[in-house]
Structure 1
Amino acid sequence: MDNRRNLYFYYPKDEELEKKLVPLFDLAKKNGFTIVEKFQEANIIVSVGGDGAFLQAVRHTGFRQDCLYIGIARSNEAGLYCDFNLDRYDEMVNSMMNEELEVRRFPIIDVLINGETKFHCLNEAAIRSAIIKTIVIDVFIDDNFFERFRGDGLIVATPTGSTGYNKSTHGAVIDPKTPCFQVTELASLNNNRYRTLGSSFILDKERTLRLEVIQDGNDYPIIGLDNEAYSIRNIKDLTVTLSDKKIKTVKMKNNSYWDRVKRTFL
């Protein structure tokens, strides 16, 4: 099958939303695109529903390396991953037809849990206490002990993930062209007895971060991978590295990442 113009749409099954999508489907077909039912057959995956839907689309389609991802936000949604709006869907089709798009590549992180199961994250990985008790984590950078953290948890964010959960906890906003990842504390304890760095820090793409959970009763923390929470029994350690993979998305010309940051926050 020639799938060079095959579109797969990822969106919540909602009757009202599906009605709004019909004109977009018709316009896409009219301009020579084929809408497929299986994401494996597509070379363009389109999410509808803001950043949350975009993250879900990327995760549920397996972080495809051989296709482009496009995000469409609805009128009441903000989207740093979404260059298009459902109320102006014709802009997307016209841009695709007239090659007014540019490809951008977003870094992702690999998260290895207990040395066994690997996950990818486009936004962030977070480890938090699941009980009313501080979680204790030993932090290692390149196998060198850095600090013992006590608090609610830690966030490890990609550059694009730096504007979400990470930013809300006073982490830095990072240019996605910078190959790195960021570690940010959640309500750390800092006093005469306990001490942490007390600020977020940024690691180069060549660094390896290892988080060892101290088994003191907080053995079942919550692991958040992008916008999904996982309950994994007996978490012992997480190893985080910057992946060799990148998510390819498209953007309108003259609409940079920082243009969207400005619109969203300023």
Structure 2
Amino acid sequence: MISRKNLYFFFKQTPEMQDIVTPLKNLAEVHGFHLVHSIKEANIVVSVGGDNAFLQALRKTGFREDCLYIGVNTDQLGFYTDFTINDQERMIQAMKNEELEVRRYPVLEVSVNNEKPIFCLNECSIRSNVIKTFVIDVVIDDFAFETFRGDGMIVSTPTGSTAYNKSVRGAVIDPTLPSMQVSELASLNNNQYRTLGSPFVLGPDRTLLLKVVQDGNDHPIIGADNEALSLRHAKNIRIKLADRQIKVLKLKTNSFWQKVQRNFL
């Protein structure tokens, strides 16, 4: 932690947020951190705003492997934010007293139509963009597993299992288990189409291929975390765990399961 001193602050560029972040910047400089204006110079990225801002920070900074990411919430604690903006001195003291640890989170690598891959920390979702079901052939490695018809599918990481995935009754997965979970959105099960009908979990070496059957509903919405991809035509979506992990600076006393308890129980 001592060797990492270049801080880059990521936040929504509004006058209100500037007023919120300025004291935090001043505090960082007082304690020997160097503020940089380019992500290329940074080795610590501080996201201010909440979990959505944290996901945007990852995307805008390219899911860097050589950075530590820190989440600061402007309201209450989230799954990726261990501090609030009103807890600034606590944050500095935690850094100095080694009350923090680096946690490594699995990331999805997603390639649409064999194009350059993108990355997701929470989930990749594929949904119909019209009020009509569509068909997906589901292939695990090279094995044709099932043919799905419905509103769509969600593929989530363990940390993303508490987000969109949980809302469709997916399981909450411990982030120490590198895996991806596949959950259905309103599947049809009849004599023609038959799916497992429940979420399933794939191990770290699996590759999932979702092939959109071209039957007139050929333009589904592909979501990467909290952002929709601007794709006009999707034939196949290949998803696997990336060979990189995101390093997040967290409090030792605020584990994943403590967050689950705090948010849901």
Q: TM range, normalised to the smaller chain? A: over 0.9
**Partner Cα distance (1:84, 1:70) in 2:** 9
Match of 2:9 in 1: 9
Which residue of structure 2 aligns with residue 53 of structure 1?
53
Residue range with higher mean Cα deviation, 14-23 or 205-214: 14-23
Q: Runs of 4+ in structure 1 displaced over 3 angstroms?
A: none
Match of 2:264? 265
Q: Deviations over 1:101-133 (max 9, x none)?
A: 101000001111111221111110001111111
Contact 2:125 2:222 survives alignment (8 Å):
yes
Letter in 1 for 2:108: I
Whether the 8 Å CA contact 2:7–2:35 is kept in 1: the answer is: yes
CA distance in 2, matches of 1:177, 1:139: 26
Whole-angstrom distance in 1 between the partners of 2:246 and 2:230: 26
Whether the 8 Å CA contact 2:135–2:213 is kept in 1: the answer is yes
Identical amino acids, percent of aligned pairs? 58
Kindly state the Cα deviation for residue 170 of structure 1 after the two structures are TM-superposed. 0.5
User: Deviation of residue 261 (structure 1)?
Assistant: 1.1
SS at match of 1:87: coil
Deviations 1:119-167 (A, max 9, x none): 1111100011111110100000111101000000000001111000000
Secondary structure, counterpart of 1:177 in structure 2: coil
* Alignment match, 1:80: 79
Q: Report the Cα distance in structure 1 between the residues aligned to 2:40 and 2:161, rounded to whole angstroms.
A: 30
Q: CA deviation at 1:78?
A: 4.5
Structure 2's unaligned 5+ residue stretches are none
Cα displacement (A) at 1:262: 0.9
SS of 1:185's equivalent in the other structure is: strand
**SS at the partner of 1:231?**
coil
Partners of 1:223 and 1:230 within 8 A in 2: yes
User: For residues 206 and 193 of structure 1, what CA distance do their matches in structure 2 show?
Assistant: 31
Letter in 2 for 1:49: G
SS of equivalent to 2:257: helix
Matched residue, 2:181: 182
| Paired position in structure 1 for 2:19 | 19
**CA shift for structure 1 position 95:** 1.1
1:121 is matched with 120
Deviations 1:199-258 (A, max 9, x none): 000000011110000001111110000111013122110111111100000111221111
Residue 192 of structure 1 deviates from its aligned partner by 3.7
Give distance in 1, aligned partners of 2:232 and 2:20: 42
Could you tell me which amino acid in structure 1 is paired with residue 57 of structure 2?
Answer: A
The residue identity in structure 2 corresponding to 1:42 is A
Alignment of 1:167 with 2:171, yes or no, is no
Q: Which amino acid aligns with 2:39?
A: F
Q: If the length of structure 2 is used for normalisation, what is the TM-score?
A: 0.96
In structure 1, list runs of 5 or more residues that go unmatched.
Answer: none
Structure 1 residue 191: Cα displacement: 2.8
| Corresponding position of 1:38 | 38
Distance 1:78 1:94, change over 3 A: closer
CA distance in 1 between partners of 2:192 and 2:105 (Å): 40
1:152 corresponding residue in structure 2: 151
- What is the CA–CA distance in structure 2 between the aligned matches of 1:81 and 1:58, rounded to whole Å? 11
Please tell me the residue identity of whatever aligns with 2:179. Answer: C
User: How far did 1:14 drift?
Assistant: 2.1
| Counterpart in the other structure of 1:198 | 197
- Tell me, yes or no, if the aligned pair for 2:137 and 2:211 is still in contact at 8 Å: yes
Q: Distance in 2 between matches of 1:181 and 1:103?
A: 21
Q: Is the 8 A contact 2:156 2:181 kept in 1?
A: yes
What is the TM-score when the length of structure 1 is the normalising length?
A: 0.96
SS of aligned partner of 2:259: helix
Does the Cα contact within 8 Å between 1:108 and 1:120 map onto a contact in 2?
yes
CA contact (8 A) 1:114 1:236 kept: yes
2:63 is aligned to: 63
Contact 1:78 1:264 in 2 (8 A): no
Code of the aligned partner of 1:235: A
Q: Give the AA of the match of 2:93.
A: N
RMSD: 1.3
Structure 2 Cα separation of the partners of residues 89 and 200 of structure 1 = 40
